[in-house]
Each structure stands twice: as structure tokens, then as C-alpha cells.
Amino acid sequence: MGFDTDFLRDEVRCGFYIPTAIKQAWAAALEVLSEIDRICEKHDITYFADWGTLLGAVRHGGFVPWDDDLDIGMKRSDYEKFRSVADAELPDNYVFHDYERKNDHWEFIVRVVNNEKMCFDERYLREHNNFPWLVGTDIFVKDYLYPSDDMEKERDKEVMKLYTVAQMVIGGKADNRVISAQLYEINKKYGTSLSAAENSTELAVKLYRLAEQQMSRVKDNESRKIGQIFPWVVKNGTSIGEDKELYEKIIRIPFENTTIPVPVSYGKILTKRYGDFNQIRKVWTGHGYPFFEGQKKEMEELSGEKLPDFCFRREMLSRPAVDLSASLKNTVRECVNALRELLVNAEDAVCGRVYDDASKALIEAQQLTIDLGTLLENVKGENAPHTKKVVKALEELCEFIWQDHLNLSENGSDKRISSRDVLGEAENIIEANIINRREILFLPVGHTEWEGFSAIYYEALNESDTDVYVVPLPVLRKDYFGNIIMSEEEINVAAELEKYPKDVSLTDWRTYDLSIHCPDVVYIQNPYDETNPCLTVPAEFYAENIRKYTGEMIFIPFKKTDEFGCDDINDIYNMKHYVKAPGIVYADRVLVQSENIREQYIRCLTGFAGEDTKKCWEDKIKVGTAESSNMPIQREEKKKMLYCIGINELMEHREKLIDAVNDRIRLFLENKERINSTVYLYPNDIDEWREIDEDLSDKLLSIIKKAKLEMIAVMIKDAEMETRKYDAYYGSPSPMVSAFVSMHKPIMISNYDVMGM
């Protein structure tokens, strides 16, 4: 399963910063899911996204941003079929964790894991985005529940007793007589022949297997509800169960760079579990985040060595002197001085009537003038207005030098060299248009990340004494050892220049030499220095190298996050990847969005570099950046409404759906002078809709067509960009909701219990 560079980039979703390290984990989890999917497709096994993965699929079109694993569900019959073929069908390096196959896996949740152990083999790393850690997908098994609460409680007690006895056996702390007494009752009840004299592991496995048999003893035709018996139904009774009809039809919806099966009645399932599931709550109650940090610590303990990481050194705070030796301004000054000297030499030679020497000096001066003009055009751009002024002055100087040379050749004139006067005029023009002009350089790492610079860029363009350069940096794939693993052709297109705003003048990174330009100010946003686990930029644009050639390097995060505090442990963890980083440490200034975020940066960096560095970070990190997305956007007078109809409505509100849609569209049409309405069917694939209910789907499409409303299809990855076109969202749950939330735009989820809005 391939993942492009864009998938692995740092990203901000719903105000939450997701670094490449987490994207690597996502990619690894999706690879496991693809193998499960392949097996299920081959053997006609039904599975579906469950728990946080179901929530993420519906609300975000992928992972919940602050989650890092995958959960899927299977009915018991599908799970048994999957378990029976898993060993033969899974790739050789994969392992299936359940109580029978994995030591100390005493759980009823099973897990498919991508390897037996952490793997640092070079080939493996290259094939898996440099991610050596174990990652698995959890499978939650659902069984049918008794229609009677009393019968269900009785069954749950049995399951709990079998589990408890198994734990006694595993723990080895219970007296054999106690275990024997318990086994006697179990044997009598279930007709088994379990013995305390058996190997403890084998006995525990038998008890677990017997517990699963009790979980699965209710058949489909005997039940109205379904649920995960251990631990949820055991703890909460049938109230935690769900109507089995909710799982009758499964569809596929977008999930990151693929699709995932979900119950078509996902709205009802998520509402029962989470209430208003469209409301964004950054809640984390699962395993430690991220899951692979524990494996890193284990590897370091086993090896006795620290894994590669960005480490602070005190000398990083020492600002090196700017190297201007090869700078354009320095070179121009040297050229002007050399020109002056050549013209003086020519005049002295004329006075001494050494005409050959004078002619030679003039020819050298003319060539130097031509070379200087060419250099300026190459470095500053031949179409730049200030370059044109200087080149014009140099051309005039060149003409005068040539005329002086002709005069000498024809007349042997002993007059003063006239081009010296023109040199003085050219010097003034060079001083005004080259030497005294400032240069500001922006180094974006992507067309979407450009927004973090946009507002400051347009301000810089208004500074009359300043040249502004935008040099988009290509984001490059590298192997675990830091070697670039992209072809020249791939590198050539990686900067994606064509995707930047058309009014932004761009310079190719390969033609921009920092040592020549030596810009006065450089704005960076680069989280891809040598410390990123699988992405980088050209090494000459690493923060450590940039500051050798500029008076001031300013770091601006490419996008705002939500405000967070010390209790937001996932936000705090991810700062490790984008704050404890070269771009921040080496920058002269860091501009952040708020005083609170400034305090978080200072706290993070002080913990990283030492309490004695706190004053340094306080001086460096300031509040003072803006994103263009927050700037006023010129809009037409009409408001634009995005009206979403989700496929879940076919199952959840089938009787009311057509009347409700007719009613909504009627209201939109009645208000068409004030509102432009666009219909968004989620998911976009009409065939999926027809597979669920062809008649109802066709009626729905007919209504939309008759109303002549625009219909759009949106790629989930473009949700935020698409959101900008609209003023408000109305309708069914979809990943577009979280995009509207991120942009603080009005959202209203439709209520099919009432007509109208």
C-alpha cells in the first residue's frame, strides 16, 4: 500500500497538530487494515469500522486527529471465519494475537500485528516509511444478546465466572483446592472435563474458549440486539446493546487515502455511543499516546543506546557571523571598485601617452561592466524593475567606455576618459537599486502551508525599498539513514509551483543561492530539517545553514492550532516534533498565534534545553502572526449554503427522507434571492446509494435534478479548501462538518423529526 509525500507531511486538523511521526503510525496501521480487507474480500467476511475509527471515518474522513490506532468490528460468525484463515492468509511477518496464539494475551479483543518484533532491516524500513515499530488493528467481536434482560444477565454471570477462574489459573495465586472446586462446577454445568492438574496456560485457554462459546450461544433469529459482551454488556447489561438491524447493511466511505466499511446506520450508532458526535471533544482515554513511544524506550533499554533524535547543544544559541564574502552586494562593490580603478588606470595611461595600456584597461572595464550586468540579471532577475534600471545604467556606461576606446584607436586622444563621469552616475543607481535595497526571502514547504506566510508576504510587497523572493522548497522522501530516495524527475515536481496562488512570484529553489543573495530577513516554516523521520528539504535550506547567510531568520508555524494547555497531553507530546526542532532553536525570532501558545513553546523548550535557557526563549518567541485564511474574503452578496445529504439517511429516516428533502429544497428555492444552495451527497459514489436502496436513491436524485441545484463531489483531503467557498453548512453528518468547525462557520445538523430548517 503506497503513501505519497503529502500523506506523510505535518498537518493541522481540527486545530490539532499531527506530525510526520504520527502519520507514519497511521500509514502502518492502514497497511495492516489493507491486509485484513484483502482477506475479508477473498473469503466473503464482513467487517466494519468500530469505536474511534467509526467516529473518525464519519466525522473526519479518516483517523480522529488525536487518535493513532484502528478499531474494527466483526460479528461472531465472521470473526470465526476470519480466525480460521488468518494464519494461512496473513503475510509471513504478520502475527495474529489472541489468547491461543500469543503469550500473555489474556483478552477477548484480538489484534492483527504487522510483525513479530520491531524491525530495523533496511529493506523493511524503506518499504514501510521508515517505521520500525509494531502496529496492530484491534478486532472487536459482537454477539447476539438475549431478548430477556434476566437471561442476558444470567449468561453474563457465566461468562464472568469463566473469565474469573481463568484469571485465577493464570495468576497462580489461588489455592488448587479453590480452583478444583470451581472447575467441578464448570464441568458439571457444561459437560467438560477441565482439571486443575493441567498446564495452567492450556487450562486458561480452554476456559477462555468456553467463555466465548457462551458469548456466541444466542442465534440471530433469537435476538433483537447485538453487542460486545466482554467487557461492555457484562458491565452494563442489555442497555449497552444495539439493534441488530443497524449492522445489516454495510457501505464503504472515504478513510484517509482509502475507504473503509461502516454500518450504513452510522448516525444512530454514533449518537447512542457519543451523543452529539459532531461536537469536537479532544478526549483521550485509551492507551498511552502515541503507542510507539513505549517500544522506543524498550529498544533503548535493550540496546543500551539512545535512538537518533534532535539534541540540544548550548552552542546552538550562539549566532554565527553572517558570511557575506560571496554575497551579491559584496561582489557588486568589488566590481565597482575594480571599474573605477580600471578607468583611472586608462586615464593615467592616456596622460602618459601609453595608449596600448589605456586601450587594454578600457576593454577590461567594458567586459567587467557586461559581466556585472549579466550577474545582476541572473541573480535578481532580468525583468525585475530595479535590475532593469541598473542594467540600463551599465549599458550606458559600457557605451561610453566603448566610445573612449574608439577615440583612442582613431585619434590617440590625450583627453580625459569621459566614461569616469558616467561611472559616478551608475554608482548612484547601483547604490539605490542594489546596495541599499533590502531583501526578504520566504521559504514555504507547500502550497497549503503557504497560507502561514501569505499576510506577511503581501505586507512585504508594499515596502518600496525591499525585494521579495518566494522560494518554495520541495519536500523530499528520505530513507532511515537520511539518503534521498526520490528520482530527479520526482524532485523536480515536488515543489508543486503550479499550485501556488497565481499572483505570487516564485523562484526555483535550484536557482536561488543563499550565499549570493544573503537576504536581510528569511521567513521559514520548515518542520522537515534533518530531524524529520522520513521527510526533508534540500540540505542547503536547513535552518542551521540558512542563518549563516542572513541577518534575521524568523520562524512562523504554517498554520494555527487550537489553544491548548498542560493537561492536553496529546498536544503537549506532539510539540516534541515541531517545537523541539532546528527551525525553532536556530531562529532569531519565532512568531506564534497567542500568549498562551507562546507560554507553551517556552515551557516546552525550557524543559528541552534547560532552565537556564528560559530567558533566551522568552526573548525569541513573540506573539505576532496572521493567516490569510482569517483575512476578509470578497464574497458575492448572496450567502452560500452547503446542504449535505448522507447515505445513512436512507436507512435511518427512510420513511421521512423524501418529504424532508422536498421540504428543505423548497425552503432553499423560496430564499434563492438570498441563498445559493449546493447539494453534497456523502459519500459521492451514487452506486453505493443505489446498492442500499435503489428506488429511494433515484427519487432523491430526481428531486435534486428537478430543483436544478448544483451538486458537488468533494475529496475528503480537500474539505477545508472547499469549505472556504461556503458561509454555512446544513444537513447530515460528514467530514465536511469538522472542516466547518475548524473555520468557525455556522453548522446545523438536520432533524428529521421536524420539517423545515
Name the β-bridge partners of 240. Answer: none
| Nearest to 98, CA basis, from 204, 215, 243, 187 | 204
Give the model's confidence band at 753: pLDDT under 50 very low, under 70 low, under 90 confident, else very high: low
Q: State whether 476 and 578 are in the same domain.
A: yes
CATH number at residue 241: 3.30.460
Has residue 322 been placed in a domain? no
Q: State whether 476 and 593 are in the same domain.
A: yes
Q: Give the tens place of pLDDT for each residue, 72-96.
A: 999 999 999 999 999 999 999 999 9
3 state SS of 608: helix
The mean per-residue pLDDT over the stretch 242-266 comes to 95
Of 402, 435, 468, which residue constitutes the final position of a domain?
435
* Rounded-to-integer distance, Cα 62 and Cα 257, Å: 8
Q: State whether 68 and 172 are in the same domain.
A: no
| Nearest to 629, CA basis, from 443, 454, 446, 503 | 454
Total domain count for the chain? 5
Q: State whether 13 and 159 are in the same domain.
A: no
Q: Give the tens place of pLDDT for each residue, 635-669.
A: 456 899 999 999 999 999 887 899 999 999 999 99
CATH number at residue 533: 3.40.50
Percent over 70 (pLDDT), the chain: 96
Task: Assess contact for 617 and 575: CB atoms under 8 A.
Answer: no
Q: State whether 411 and 334 are in the same domain.
A: yes
Has residue 314 been placed in a domain? no
Task: Assess contact for 226 and 75: CB atoms under 8 A.
Answer: yes
Q: Give the residue with greater pLDDT, 333 vs 1.
A: 333
CATH number at residue 400: 1.20.120
| Nearest to 750, CA basis, from 638, 642, 675, 640 | 642
Per-residue confidence (pLDDT) for residue 722, from 0 to 100:
87
Q: State whether 482 and 559 are in the same domain.
A: yes
Q: Give the tens place of pLDDT for each residue, 514-553.
A: 999 999 999 999 888 889 999 999 999 999 999 999 999 9
Per-residue confidence (pLDDT) for residue 545, from 0 to 100:
96
Has residue 591 been placed in a domain? yes
Percent over 90 (pLDDT), the chain: 80
| Nearest to 256, CA basis, from 83, 77, 8 | 8
Of 391, 409, 435, which residue constitutes the final position of a domain?
435
Q: State whether 457 and 547 are in the same domain.
A: yes
Per-residue confidence (pLDDT) for residue 286, from 0 to 100:
58
Q: State whether 553 and 588 are in the same domain.
A: yes
Q: State whether 255 and 391 are in the same domain.
A: no
Q: State whether 513 and 568 are in the same domain.
A: yes
Q: Give the tens place of pLDDT for each residue, 404-432.
A: 888 887 765 556 667 878 899 999 999 99
Question: What is the pTM (predicted TM-score) of this model?
Answer: 0.91
Q: Give the tens place of pLDDT for each residue, 588-632.
A: 999 999 999 999 999 999 999 999 999 999 999 999 864 444 344
* Rounded-to-integer distance, Cα 583 and Cα 597, Å: 17
Of 268, 303, 338, which residue constitutes the final position of a domain?
303
Q: Give the tens place of pLDDT for each residue, 671-692.
A: 988 999 999 999 988 999 999 9
Has residue 98 been placed in a domain? yes
Has residue 405 been placed in a domain? yes
410 sits in the region (left: phi over 0; alpha: psi -120 to 50; else beta) called alpha
Q: State whether 51 and 116 are in the same domain.
A: yes
Has residue 313 been placed in a domain? no
Q: State whether 129 and 231 are in the same domain.
A: yes
Could you tell me whether strands 250-255 and 16-18 are parallel, antiparallel, or unpaired per DSSP bridges? unpaired
Residue span of the structural domain in which 460 resides: 438-630
